[in-house]
């Protein structure tokens, strides 16, 4: 898809967000140095996350960088969604005809479920501090996928090419012959693209709760000529027959929900997988494999960054839960060098 043709005001505001994000990175670096200088050993920190946060906030009370980072993160969290939405609204008259034509073009299909009852963990939640979350704006898929992700996040992503990372994860799969793939939490289709590029002969089904996100995935597929089947559906209540897929996968999805939903998703994934089929989940690094200081930084960033379920999900042993829900061989491991993303791999016996 061509880069969003932003007007000068939208482009320059987004550029400012990128520079401010880089500035935030420098402030975080300064805070890290100050924490090191305090001589606090990670093992000496309180176990309880809230107590640890209170302790470190107290220790850093005199740090200008710490307070400025907090304020700047609050600004970026709230403002990035507004800037991206405004930038889109400026170009809407120019791009909407093309977006609508792409939706109608085929060969991909999208089935929206007007009767879908949104789960409580999703409904009305401002994910990533974006007002209204994933389905407030009719064009949230384009706004998030093509403006926030491509023109902002990709420029400040700390681990290199965020799109190459999605392709790299798929190289970890044990088989190369997947024909029917189900992606949970398709969103605007960035991981779906990696799936199709890695398995060009496979048929891909993608589901998501947010119809505006799926509409963008539909355009991405149609533009490339990929016959994705996209359905608005909850991953914990899949409307597919048993033994329908030979790969079920999700990227950066499970940390957006509570444990009960994650368990239900594992049960459903096991049901719809064929015997011998694979499960691959790629997501955030669990707190259990982080030292206490790294965990504090991640938790504070998530808590202040519009991630309502991050802490609950990051404290889970996702592989153990998968085993409890029926994936007997489930294992977890991180991708070097930062243990990110974290992979849960399993198969159906």
Short-list 265, 253, 282, 271, CA closest to 348: 271
* Contact flag: residue 9 with another protein (CB under 8 A): yes
Short-list 157, 161, 304, 182, CA closest to 251: 182
Residue 216, token pair as written in the block: 């963008």
Work out whether the CA dihedral 275, 111, 310, 343 comes out positive or negative. positive
CB of 296 to another protein, least distance (A): 19
Short-list 122, 37, 20, CA closest to 77: 20
Nearest CB to another protein, comparing residues 7 and 349:
7
Nearest CB to another protein, comparing residues 11 and 167:
11
Short-list 72, 98, 80, CA closest to 5: 98
* Contact flag: residue 19 with another protein (CB under 8 A): yes
- CA pair distance 246, 175, nearest whole angstrom: 10
253, 283 Cβ separation under 8 angstroms: yes
* Contact flag: residue 7 with another protein (CB under 8 A): yes
Site for another protein in 61-90 (CB under 8 A): 63-65, 67-72, 74-75, 78-79, 83, 90
Of the residues 22, 175, 237, 338, which one makes contact with another protein according to CB under 8 A: 22
CB of 210 to another protein, least distance (A): 28
Peptide bond into 256 cis (omega under 30): no
* Contact flag: residue 305 with another protein (CB under 8 A): no
Nearest CB to another protein, comparing residues 89 and 331:
89
Residue 272, token pair as written in the block: 């719809």
* Contact flag: residue 303 with another protein (CB under 8 A): no
CB of 88 to another protein, least distance (A): 14
Residues that bind another protein (CB under 8 A): 5, 7-9, 11-13, 15-17, 19-20, 22-23, 26-27, 30, 34, 63-65, 67-72, 74-75, 78-79, 83, 90
């Amino acid at each position: 898809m061509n880069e969003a043709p932003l007007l000068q005001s939208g482009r320059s505001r987004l550029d400012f967000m990128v520079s401010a994000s880089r500035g935030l990175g420098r402030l975080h670096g300064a805070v890290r140095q100050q924490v090191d200088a305090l001589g606090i050993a990670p093992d000496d920190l309180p176990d309880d996350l809230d107590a640890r946060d209170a302790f470190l906030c107290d220790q850093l009370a005199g740090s200008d960088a710490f307070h400025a980072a907090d304020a700047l993160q609050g600004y970026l969290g709230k403002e990035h969604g507004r800037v991206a939405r405004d930038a889109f609204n400026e170009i809407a008259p120019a791009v909407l005809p093309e977006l609508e034509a792409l939706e109608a073009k085929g060969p991909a299909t999208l089935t929206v479920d007007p009767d879908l009852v949104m789960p409580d963990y999703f409904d009305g939640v401002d994910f990533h501090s974006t007002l209204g979350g994933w389905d407030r704006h009719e064009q949230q898929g384009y706004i998030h996928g093509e403006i926030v992700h491509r023109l902002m996040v990709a420029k400040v992503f700390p681990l290199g090419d965020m799109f190459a990372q999605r392709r790299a994860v798929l190289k970890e799969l044990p088989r190369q012959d997947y024909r029917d793939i189900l992606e949970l939490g398709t969103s605007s289709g960035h991981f779906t693209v990696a799936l199709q590029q890695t398995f060009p002969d496979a048929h891909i089904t993608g589901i998501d709760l947010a119809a505006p996100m799926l509409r963008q995935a539909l355009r991405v597929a149609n533009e490339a000529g990929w016959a994705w089947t996209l359905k608005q559906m909850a991953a914990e209540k899949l409307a597919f027959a048993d033994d329908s897929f030979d790969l079920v996968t999700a990227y950066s999805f499970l940390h957006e929900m509570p444990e009960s939903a994650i368990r239900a998703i594992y049960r459903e994934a096991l049901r719809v997988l064929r015997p011998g089929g694979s499960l691959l989940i790629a997501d955030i690094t669990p707190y259990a494999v982080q030292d206490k200081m790294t965990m504090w930084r991640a938790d504070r960033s998530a808590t202040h960054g519009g991630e309502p379920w991050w802490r609950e999900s990051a404290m889970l042993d996702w592989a153990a839960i998968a085993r409890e829900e029926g994936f007997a061989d489930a294992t977890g491991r991180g991708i070097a060098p930062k243990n990110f993303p974290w992979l849960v791999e399993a198969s159906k016996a």
